[in-house]
Structure 1
Amino acid sequence: MMLNTLRHLPRTGLMACMTAGLGLFSAASAQAQAFDTARIYGAAPERDGGRIGLVALAGHAYQGSKKSRAMLVPSLDYQWSNGWFAGTSNGLGLNFSKQAQFSYGLRLTADFGRDEDRSPALRGMGDIEFRPEIGGFFNYSPSQSLALTSSLRYGSGQDRKGLLVDLGVAHQIPLDGSWRLGVGAALTLANREALQSYFGVSAAQAASSGYAPYRVGAGLRDVRANASLTHILSPRSSVTAGLSVSALQGDAKNSPLTHQKTSVNGLLAFGYLF
């Protein structure tokens, strides 16, 4: 979230503000389970700092579902001056960069899985268990208003071999002294194991669910676009509202579990820097 004015934010803080919107919208579309972007919060590079907040999400029961789902989730992220960070948006990791416009490093995140009872459409598919993920990230801010983000995560899915690659771009447009417009886009690439777990149907699942068997291959999982409006309440606090459109692609789009290929998600979030 944009928690300060452009002229007072260090570039690392500005990158965090812009990429936060991408992460929140991914959370809305994937039900607060996506660690797609490493959002490096905190104060100046030589100081410790963090962000605490509350996020109301309006999304769907699972990717591809028609059933709506609303959640109210807390957010807490902290970064130490030595590069270590931990939180609900970033997971646990280490940013190796000492340069203001770059952040890159390693981190541990989580895939929270999917419960069969989340939707009648999943009956007979079984649960997808919680899995830890290992990975890395690289973010680059070529200017004060633009951020390019990327991350890699490995370990999700039924066989713990799911691999996800996330790429994104975020742009911030100042409207006046206290309002900011944010726009962004992102996509996720996935290997066969990751897509099979969430969009495929095995022979055993076909027998218990009534779906026909469905095998998937690696490729583009989805593309996303978002827009947000942030009001800066004080040098440390802000409120953000926004919408995101997510469209499944390839084998994910054609899965028998996919009942809605394109979804619109919303959020309302409050954040405070400390």
Structure 2
Amino acid sequence: MRILLLLSFAWTTALTSATAYAQQAPAEVGGAHGMVALGAGVVPEFDGAGDVRPFPFATADIRWRGVNFQLRGNGARVDLVSDPRFAAGPVIGPRLPRQDVDGRLGRLPEIGTAVEAGGFVGYRIGGNAQGQGGVQLELSVVHDVSDTHDGLLATASASYAAVQRSDLFLSFDLRTTWADAKYTRTYFGIDAGGAAASGLAPYRPGSGLRDVGGGVTAGYWFDRHLGVIAHASAGYLVGDAADSPVTREGSRWQPIAGLMLAYRF
């Protein structure tokens, strides 16, 4: 089960550049076409962790009858708007659990896998016909539907398509996430029982900005079908999340990196 959840855990804007070129391979008229990619990478063990874990990367962008089915960002989503600049639709994805942790954090209550669902909206500004030079702005809002943290998170991101060619793409992105108190108290709070068990100070965080971050995504197509995609990014915890004893035991830096083999059709 955890492997299936990890397959859907990818990065915030890893497909922003790749999407435009997923459509350049030949496809039957009216048939599905797009891109799928598989690979490996590393992500933080849990929110606020100081260590990373290896995991399988999987991402996809498939268009069928004017609808885009995407595995990207923090899960799966569907772009219901058939428009080259505007995008909107539902999104769903997991948040990794905090389990089997070493040290004092391991004495805190374990947190299971959360499932978050909501929606996103995006708009591309500028850029040529292939998207080069364009800036993609996006906002997503998700709420926990699994009763794990019952919180709300909103993520704003901007991605710049520096290079968009038929054989090469390169993009840079920035992002920030706001989280409510239910989320921050679940992942970064410590109640009296947790403090007594772990030796860490009690901590009751509130809502606010959780992090800021950025990254780079690059890809190269060897031919019309086969290519490779690489991504590296890092988030930096701020506000109440940064001040938590959980983060002090772990790290404010939350890196993600991966390499995938891609196929477009």
* TM-score range relative to shorter protein: 0.7 to 0.9
Residue 177 (structure 1) shift: 6.3
The code of the aligned residue for 1:262 comes to W
Measure the CA separation in 2 of the matches of 1:218 and 1:238.
Answer: 42
The ranges of structure 1 where at least 4 consecutive aligned residues each deviate by more than 6 angstroms after the TM superposition are none
Partner of 2:88: 104
Please report the RMSD computed on the Cα atoms of aligned residues, expressed in angstroms: 3.2
Alignment of 1:30-109 (within 5 A): 33=9, 36=12, 43=23, 47-81=31-65, 83=67, 85=69, 87=71, 91=75, 93-107=77-91, 109=92
Q: Which amino acid aligns with 1:111?
A: P
The alpha carbon displacement at 1:162 in A equals: 1.0
Contact kept? 1:38, 1:90, Cα under 8 Å: no
Distance 2:73 2:41 in 1: 14
Change (3 A) 1:195 1:79: farther
Shift, 1:165, TM fit:
0.5
Task: Name the % identity.
Answer: 25
* Aligned partner (choices 240, 253, 256) of residue 262 of structure 1: 253
| Deviation (angstroms), 1:72 | 2.8
Please give the alpha-carbon distance, in whole angstroms, between the structure 1 residues aligned to 2:74 and 2:65: 16
Change (3 A) 1:178 1:113: closer
User: Which residue number in structure 2 is paired with residue 272 of structure 1?
Assistant: 263
Q: CA offset at residue 228 of structure 1? A: 2.9
Q: Relative to structure 2, which stretch is displaced further, 165-174 or 35-44?
A: 35-44
1:229-260 superposed Cα distances (whole Å, 9 cap, x missing partner) = 32222223321233223210001111101132
Is 2:105 the partner of 1:122? Answer: yes
TM-score (norm 2): 0.77
Corresponding position of 1:205? 194
- 1:162 aligned to 2:146? no
Aligned partner of 1:19 in structure 2 is: none
Q: Deviations over 1:25-51 (max 9, x none)?
A: xxxxx9964675696856499652343
Tell me the residue number matched to 2:174.
185
Q: 1:209 to 1:221 in 2, by over 3 A?
A: same
- Matched positions, count: 244
Question: d(CA) in 2 for partners of 1:270 and 1:249?
Answer: 34
TM-score normalised to structure 1 length? 0.75
Match among 109, 114, 120 for residue 131 of structure 1: 114
